[in-house]
């Protein structure tokens, strides 16, 4: 999530290898070499939007764009953090971690992780950290979860903390929910920590069980193009919270623990019990989106990658018409990609801006990217940017 606190996080403007930049930043700030470097990726969500906080299903994959933290221990309860585009470093100590929210801006993600670890009873080592990132901020590719996961990996290793990877997403989510104050679900932290190269992560957000589903684009002669809509996030945080609240209200009205407990077979009956049209549409999105995730997983398990396109496009229509989280730039990008021959296209991430992903033939990238740029020019939108992506691994130690 890109909350207000995240808006000051380092944008991906720097050049050169991100791991080298993190190490160089560490040396510049602290005059010594780091003890190690830890990386965590951004993510794209293939399908399953706003289903995570409804205890449902999601299918994200990690990106090769990464955030890298270079770190070394320092004595006492002190944490010093430098980001490559924000000088001087931010410093906080144990006393400032009593109350969530005392550290603000991009450093809140770091303080939030330290806070959540301490809350969970861990003896967190004091540390110096330097952050560099290639994950664009404000594009819906989970730049905040990438910072959280990379910092968490560093602190777990430096402190020899007993916190296996499968338990790390909840802790990072707690940092984001309770310290930064963004009411997000578990998808982003799970993706950036638990994804595997060449696979999408099928996550049951209730049980947190995962299946690494092969997502072999090369073998299918396909590619995924991610287009940054460059749409300014319009009230994203308030609208996200409103969607979440509507879903919780609907579940309460229907007498189920979460909307995940309404299956597509029960949908008509459930809708008939709700009188508010807006709530009905929110429910329809979540219930049908969960089913689309399951259908996409079935196709990927069977190696039928090419056939997931219509599910992606149906997901977009549902987000546009029922969940109402898209914006004109995003819809324009999806329509242009489809008109140029994409097999499927949808907004990815929380919405109200951010990125579109398009499943395309491997040789279609230029044509689709140009078509989107032309459609943007026709509508007077700023020129969009794009990147080809492949499913990458989750958080890891580099050195």
- Which residues of this protein are in contact with ligand GAF, per CB under 6 A? 1, 45, 49-50, 52-53, 184-185, 187-188, 349-350
The answer to whether residues 272 and 313 touch, using CB atoms and an 8 Å cutoff, is no
Query: Taking the complex as a whole, how short is the minimal distance between the CB of residue 242 and ligand GAF, in angstroms?
Result: 13
Selected catalytic residue, list 188, 237, 290, 322: 188
The answer to whether residues 112 and 15 touch, using CB atoms and an 8 Å cutoff, is no
**182 or 359: whose CB is closer to ligand GAF?**
182
**70 or 116: whose CB is closer to ligand GAF?**
116
Active site residue 363: no
The answer to whether residues 265 and 303 touch, using CB atoms and an 8 Å cutoff, is no
Query: Taking the complex as a whole, how short is the minimal distance between the CB of residue 138 and ligand GAF, in angstroms?
Result: 12
Residue nearest to ligand GAF (CB): 350
Report CA-CA distances (Å) from 314 to 217, 319, 321.
20, 9, 10
Nearest to 227 by CA among 356, 391, 341: 356
Length of the chain: 399
Is the peptide bond preceding residue 88 cis, with omega within 30 degrees of 0? Answer: yes
Query: Taking the complex as a whole, how short is the minimal distance between the CB of residue 144 and ligand GAF, in angstroms?
Result: 8
Using N-to-C axis directions, what is the helix angle for 309-321 and 328-339, rounded to 10°? 150
Query: Taking the complex as a whole, how short is the minimal distance between the CB of residue 316 and ligand GAF, in angstroms?
Result: 13
**158 or 180: whose CB is closer to ligand GAF?**
180
Query: Taking the complex as a whole, how short is the minimal distance between the CB of residue 187 and ligand GAF, in angstroms?
Result: 4
Exposed / middle / buried, residue 197 (Cβ in 10 Å: 0-12, 13-18, 19+):
middle
Query: Taking the complex as a whole, how short is the minimal distance between the CB of residue 80 and ligand GAF, in angstroms?
Result: 27
d(Cα 110, Cα 80) in Å, to the nearest integer? 10
Exposed / middle / buried, residue 15 (Cβ in 10 Å: 0-12, 13-18, 19+):
exposed
**Cα–Cα–Cα angle for 31, 37, 42, rounded to 5 degrees:** 125
**52 or 134: whose CB is closer to ligand GAF?**
52
d(Cα 83, Cα 132) in Å, to the nearest integer? 6
**220 or 325: whose CB is closer to ligand GAF?**
325
The answer to whether residues 332 and 230 touch, using CB atoms and an 8 Å cutoff, is no
The answer to whether residues 97 and 136 touch, using CB atoms and an 8 Å cutoff, is no
CA 97, 102, 106, 107 torsion-angle sign:
negative
Who contacts 154 (Cβ-Cβ below 8 Å, separation ≥6)? Answer: 36, 38, 69, 71, 127, 129
Query: Taking the complex as a whole, how short is the minimal distance between the CB of residue 207 and ligand GAF, in angstroms?
Result: 17
Q: Which position has the token pair 């709530």?
A: 279
Token pair belonging to 302: 């069977």
**2 or 313: whose CB is closer to ligand GAF?**
2
**69: helix, strand or coil:** strand
**123: helix, strand or coil:** coil
Exposed / middle / buried, residue 123 (Cβ in 10 Å: 0-12, 13-18, 19+):
exposed
Query: Taking the complex as a whole, how short is the minimal distance between the CB of residue 48 and ligand GAF, in angstroms?
Result: 7
**56 or 344: whose CB is closer to ligand GAF?**
56
**344 or 350: whose CB is closer to ligand GAF?**
350
Q: Give catalytic residue positions.
A: 188
């Amino acid at each position: 999530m890109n909350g207000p606190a995240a808006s000051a996080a380092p944008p991906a403007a720097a050049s050169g290898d991100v791991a080298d930049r993190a190490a160089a930043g560490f040396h510049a700030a602290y005059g010594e070499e780091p003890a190690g470097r830890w990386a965590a990726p951004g993510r794209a969500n293939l399908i399953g939007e706003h289903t995570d906080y409804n205890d449902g299903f999601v299918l994200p994959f990690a990106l090769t764009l990464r955030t890298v933290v270079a770190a070394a221990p320092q004595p006492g309860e002190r944490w010093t953090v430098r980001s490559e585009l924000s000088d001087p470093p931010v410093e906080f100590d144990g006393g400032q971690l009593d109350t969530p929210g005392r550290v603000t801006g991009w450093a809140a993600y770091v303080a939030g992780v330290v806070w959540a670890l301490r809350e969970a009873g861990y003896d967190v080592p004091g540390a110096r950290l330097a952050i560099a990132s290639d994950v664009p901020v404000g594009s819906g590719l989970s730049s905040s979860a990438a910072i959280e996961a990379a910092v968490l990996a560093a602190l777990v290793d430096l402190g020899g903390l007993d916190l296996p990877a499968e338990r790390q997403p909840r802790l990072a989510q707690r940092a984001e929910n309770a310290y930064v104050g963004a009411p997000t679900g578990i998808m982003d932290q799970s993706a950036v920590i638990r994804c595997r190269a060449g696979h999408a992560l099928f996550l049951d957000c209730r049980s947190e069980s995962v299946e690494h589903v092969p997502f072999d684009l090369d073998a299918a002669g396909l590619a995924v193009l991610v287009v940054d809509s460059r749409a300014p996030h319009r009230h994203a945080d308030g609208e996200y919270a409103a969607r979440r609240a509507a879903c919780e209200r609907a579940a309460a009205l229907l007498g189920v623990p979460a909307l995940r407990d309404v299956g597509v077979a029960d949908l008509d009956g459930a809708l008939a019990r709700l009188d508010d049209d807006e709530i009905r549409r929110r429910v329809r999105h979540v219930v049908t989106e969960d089913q689309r995730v399951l259908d996409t997983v079935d196709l990927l398990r069977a190696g039928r990658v090419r056939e997931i396109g219509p599910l992606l496009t149906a997901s977009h229509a549902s987000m546009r018409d029922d969940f109402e989280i898209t914006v004109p730039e995003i819809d324009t990008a999806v329509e242009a990609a489809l008109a140029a021959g994409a097999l499927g296209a949808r907004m990815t991430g929380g919405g109200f801006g951010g990125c579109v992903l398009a499943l395309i033939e491997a040789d279609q990238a230029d044509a689709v990217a140009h078509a989107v740029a032309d459609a943007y020019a026709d509508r007077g939108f700023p020129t969009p940017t794009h990147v080809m992506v492949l499913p990458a691994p989750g958080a890891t130690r580099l050195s």
